Amino acid sequence: MVKKVEHFRNSQCPVACTLDFLGDHWSLLVIRELMMMGNHQYKDMLAMPEGISSNILSDRLKRLEESGIIASAYRPDNKRDKLYYLTEKGKELFFVIVEIVRWADKHLGDKIHIPAERRAFIDNPPEEVAKTVFARLEEWEKQNLPDMSLI
């Protein structure tokens, strides 16, 4: 088993320390599901095309929640189902994700596929796309987290 390195113990480098939170294989994909794909339930994230296992998904959700990047709440209509959502800290990763997608489009074009309906995320200025994404997230929060003002 590979020992997890916590970079902040040895270095104050911003890149190294960020890897402590986001440097594993799955965290950014979980954030993508919440931010871009509109998947807020465990079962929906479990079905992501990359094929995450249930134990890894559970671990990443827990770690992202502990780091304050995501939060969870029970569904208003079914208290047994948990909904996951991005905190403000998590939403601030939007521009990082857009730049990763743009980099991939430029340098990995023959290995990736961006559906036509998602192409706007690359072709339009990030600030315009951010308005659309954040409005969609805000609408989802209003519909699914009615007690948000109490949180």
Phi, psi of 80 (to 5 degrees): -90, -20
pLDDT, one tens digit per residue, over 45-97 is: 999 999 999 999 999 999 999 999 999 999 878 888 899 999 999 999 999 99
The pLDDT value given to residue 148 = 57
Radius of gyration of the chain (CA): 16
Mean pLDDT of 32-38: 94
Residue corresponding to tokens 């074009």: 109
pLDDT in tens, 105-131: 999 988 998 888 888 777 889 899 999
**Confidence at residue 6, expressed as pLDDT on a 0 to 100 scale:** 67
Residue 69 tokens, joined: 């990047």
Residue 41's pLDDT is what?
Answer: 95
When pLDDT is cut at 50, 70 and 90, the band that residue 5 belongs to is: low
Higher-confidence position of 129 and 3: 129
Task: Please list, residue by residue across 66-85, b when 16 or more beta carbons sit within 10 angstroms of its beta carbon and e when fewer do.
Answer: eeebbbebeeeeeeeeebbb
Q: Give 29-90 as a DSSP string.
A: HHHHIIIII---BHHHHHT-TT---HHHHHHHHHHHHHTTSEEEEEETTEEEEEEEEE-HHH
Nearest to 31 by CA among 80, 87, 78, 111: 87
Q: What angle do CA 25, 60, 81 make, to 5 degrees?
A: 135
pLDDT at residue 149 above 60? no
